[in-house]
Structure 1
Amino acid sequence: MIDVRSATVQFGGVTALKEVDLAVDRGRVCAVIGPNGSGKTTLFNTISGFVSPTAGSVLVDGRDVTRVAADGRARLGLARTFQTPRVDVEATVRETVLCGFLPSTRSGLLAALIRTPRVQREERRLATEVDELLERFGLEGHAGHRLSELPMGLVRIVDVARAMAMRPKYLLLDEPAAGLTTDEQQLLVSEIRRVAGEGVGVLLVEHNFVLVQDVSEHVVVLERGAVLAEGAPGVVAEDPRVVDVYLGVTDEDSALETT
């Protein structure tokens, strides 16, 4: 379980997170929503090790990783995507997804240079696994395309596939549906459900609340860096505070629409 306890993050005199608690269990999907500037990305960065909290702690499977760097957390099974994908636009789709496997490769530099039988077996295994991921995400027809040749929606799908190549225990997705077509969103939803069904804990930051309701089991709503509400998607959707600050339809608005 990812266990965030009373996480507070301050940048100078600005409090970006204020005593936030969050739990992500293996095999479940948790979503974080909130208006722009509510602290969603700061929370992601705190969990993944790109930001150190001013106070509070982050635990992964019972281990305190509050002061562990991002690469150390990745080795513990955390994988993430970014709101703006961090990719080499000149790399091909296949090369990008293959990069996701690198942290789990077992061959050393010398063995790779002389191409020992073990290295050759590993290369064949990776090639097969890359092909399987490309097929799962509908990317097999784009395998040789450079990322610069693809629309942003497909680049986001490639980024998710690369994160899954790390074989994570926990997958953090930052705005993965932005720019995706309806068909691509449906593919994303099915893959999120699939990886959760395989025992991966998924934490999702997403503005598309319809998608959030479709795929998540628990929703946390942030407002000005603090938790405003949390619960099942249907419960959160009916919370007047959430409707007012995030979903954008107040009781007064509804009354006006019916008169």
Structure 2
Amino acid sequence: MILHSRTVSLLALGALGAICLPGCSSEDKPEQALKPLALKEQVSNIVKSADGYAVNWAGVLSNANPWHFGEHVVATVVGHDARGTEVVRMDQPLDAVPPGGSLAFTGQATSAEKPAKVTIQYRPAKWRPAARIASAFQRFPISRTQTLRQKDGTYLITGYVGNPYQLPASSLVVNALLRDKAGKLLAGGSTFVDDVKAGSPPRFILTIGGLPASTKVAKTEISARTWGSTGRPYEDLALGGAMPVHTVKPTTEPFAVDRSTEVVTQHKE
């Protein structure tokens, strides 16, 4: 009788252990796979130059991951002639792509022969969790912009870039993308501004060339971002805090009596 009881107990313990194993496992669950960056748009223009041909390009990378920076991204620009022979190749290190955001980039290279086709590819990003939520990475405001077509067919773009954060931004990249009436990307250009402090927006000036004479530009899309292959500069600004939205003291006199207290008192009576 005692032997039978011990056998039943052992069988019960074995069954309990089998049930507990899947739920009590200490192994960590695999992390959710991150989505790769997406090259949403790309365009290139080729013009004759003193050294051969100037190849200009612009593109937009999108990051669908709301909690991670896409870092150490490198774009590879390749041009082939009409026979399919490679005539130009350039690796362009890009700035970090913010969480849930996008990255506009532009570049230029010189080719001895005229490319018939130019393509942009990129190496996969290295992902790093962001120190703040996506909404903490605010846009750098752009104001008082002008787009002026010059006599030589180039476009002169000017404006001012602000800083929404309390800490100064040591260096920002300003990108301008030209679009037609339908929103199609036509060309782009970039420049740098340094020591950008809140309340003192510096002026930027850049030139975009290489467009055909028949091109009709309907819109200029301008954005600014921190410079560097990692998101650390952007994170440092966000961790330092944003400037308060309302910085002007009210000019009206305060109420002599708190109206909310008065209403509550009357309601009780």
Please, what TM-score do these two structures have when normalized by structure 2?
A: 0.22
Query: 1 or 2, which has the higher helix percentage?
Result: 1
Higher relative contact order (CA 8 A, sep 6+): 1
Please, what TM-score do these two structures have when normalized by structure 1?
A: 0.22
